[in-house]
Amino acid sequence: MKSFHGGVHPDDSKKYTAAKPIETAPLPAKVIIPLRQHIGAPVSPIVKKGDTVKKGQLIAQSDAFVSGNVHASISGKVVEIADYPHSVFGSCMSIVIENDGLDEWVEGIPVQRQWEKLDAKELSGIIREAGIVGMGGATFPTHVKLAPPPDKKIDTFILNAAECEPFLTADYRAMLEYTERIVTGVKITMKVLGVSTGYVGVEDNKPDAVKALQNAFNGTQVKVMALPTKYPQGAEKMLIKVLTGREVPSGGLPMDVGTVVQNVGTVVAISDAVTKGIPLIERVVTVSGSAVKEPKNLLMRVGSTFADALSCCGGLSGELVKIINGGPMMGFAQSTMDVPVIKGTSGILFLSKKDVNYDKESACIHCGRCVEACPMGLNPSMLSVLGERQLYVEAKEEYDLLDCMECGSCVYVCPAKRKIVQYIRYAKAQNAIQAQKEQAKVAV
């Protein structure tokens, strides 16, 4: 099978956890549940300090369509609603629940549903109520993704099972252990979209997962494809190009070429929500890295902290120099272990000096390696220089800044060790701030 342009081949470092079955983490003494766990309109608390809540109870919501409900992940007492550290946004308003040790479901959950008897609108409504978002890290509300505009004709669904980030094995273990739920989630998703053609893309370094899914989807119109192992194979645009031959245009979305892509964890959550009425309150998280005593794949409640995850893995095995939310290529470094697991947390990495590059950054030597590695065909070197020089508009309008998906391939190959993605992220943020200012002027 043909691959995409560019990309890199980092050490996958999956050996730490690939053979480790998913373990259910012990319930934490408390959970810190952020109100920002999705892209879109913010949610507001519908509980207050002192309230008693049950597992699965709705605790924050918004009337906006592009948003994501938030539910209690344990039963207990709301002890605080305040600003707490956040693994992506730095900090945000969060609801803190003290565990009562009972782990009681709110009334009405779980249920038993025959999803085949429900129509697309009913299925989509259940997915929205359950607060499901993209669990590969993007956290876009799933019900929105499954409701494309009338002028966007969707004919193909793609399950992103590549899991190309080094260290991460949460999706891989789910493919082996949650196979039936994955199949059900895919079928439900395809029914909502009204499509009959589906693909599952799995990197060929996971042959047992490929075989398990091929057997599970046998007799259906879903094709399971083994893809060349190359980072970032799991990026939506790369996956679409390799599986369908279609190319998402600059500034476009998968729906512009008739496709919708979902992550493995997301379709598992869809299955649970539709067949059992269970909202998104837990997820599989890979806890790994050379500073972890016993790396694991943990099923963790949303709101559990990174410190809770480390405790489940026997603590540290050496000097800790970096904590990352997600993978080493696209993840976010953390300054504390007191940040909570959110819906988009696929991995938590505790790294020692062995895994971290401390080479000093120097000036760009114009070698062109970043251009060769960029899967989007951009000029990362120029984008980073423009970001460094605060020429944000030029970066956007002349060098397609917004097409960068921040995969980190450029940083991986850069001999000057430039913080290319950091400069690009900052340039994007400054463009967004400027756009907000202009919108505010128009509103006035």
Q: Which residues contact 16 (CB under 8 A, 6 or more apart)?
A: 167, 288, 289, 292, 295
In the chain, count of helices (H) and strands (E)?
13, 17
**Token pair belonging to 76:** 């207990």
H-run or E-run covering 275: helix 264-276
Is the bond preceding 150 in cis, omega lying within 30 degrees of 0? no
Q: The tokens 């192992």 sit on which residue?
A: 229
CA distance 37 to 40: 9
Of residues 239, 249, 264, the one with CA closest to residue 407: 239
Q: What is the pLDDT along the chain (444 residues), one digit of tens a residue?
A: 667 889 999 999 999 999 999 999 999 999 999 999 999 999 999 999 999 999 999 999 999 999 999 999 999 999 999 999 999 999 999 999 999 999 999 999 999 999 999 999 999 999 999 999 999 988 999 999 999 999 999 999 999 999 999 999 999 999 999 999 999 999 999 999 999 999 999 999 999 999 999 999 999 999 999 999 999 999 999 999 999 999 999 989 999 999 999 999 999 999 999 999 999 999 999 999 999 999 999 999 999 999 999 999 999 998 999 999 999 999 999 999 999 999 999 999 999 998 888 888 999 999 999 999 999 999 999 999 999 999 999 999 999 999 999 999 999 999 999 999 999 999 999 998 988 888 777 766
346 close to 309: Cβ distance less than 8 angstroms: no
**Token pair belonging to 21:** 């079955």
The full DSSP string for 353-407 is GGG---PPP-------HHHHH-TT---HHHHHHHHHTT-HHHHHHHH-GGG----
- Give SS3 for 117: helix
Residue-level pLDDT at 138: 86
Residue-level pLDDT at 424: 96
309 close to 285: Cβ distance less than 8 angstroms: yes
The full DSSP string for 402-430 is GG-----HHHHH-TT---HHHHHHHHHHH
